[in-house]
Amino acid sequence: QLILNPNLPPVQGTGSQGTFYDRIAQDREILKVVLLLTGSIQSAKNQCNLYLEQFSEYEWCWKDDIAKAYKKFKDEEPSLDEFEAKLKYFVGIENKVEQMDGQHQISALMLQATSLSKGLRELANKWKESFAAQLHKEAFSRLDTVFDMVKTERKRLLREVSSGDIDALAYVMQTLRDVRSKQSEIELEFDLALLLP
Q: How far is CA 170 from CA 133, 152, 166, in A?
A: 43, 17, 6
pLDDT at 191: 67
Q: How many domains would you assign to the chain?
A: 2
CB neighbours of residue 72 within 10 Å: 11
73 and 163 together in one domain: yes
Q: How far is residue 161's CA from residue 16's CA, in Å, rounded to a whole number?
A: 122
83 and 45 together in one domain: no
pTM of model > 0.75: no
30 and 73 together in one domain: no
pLDDT at 16: 55
102 and 86 together in one domain: yes
Q: Which structural domain, as residue segments, surrounds residue 90? A: 57-195
Residues of the chain with pLDDT under 50: 1-3, 197
pLDDT at 92: 94
User: H-type helices in the chain, by residue range?
Assistant: 20-26, 28-56, 60-63, 66-75, 80-98, 114-157, 166-195
25 and 61 together in one domain: no
Name the phi and psi angles at 3, rounded to 5: -85, 120
pLDDT at 11: 52
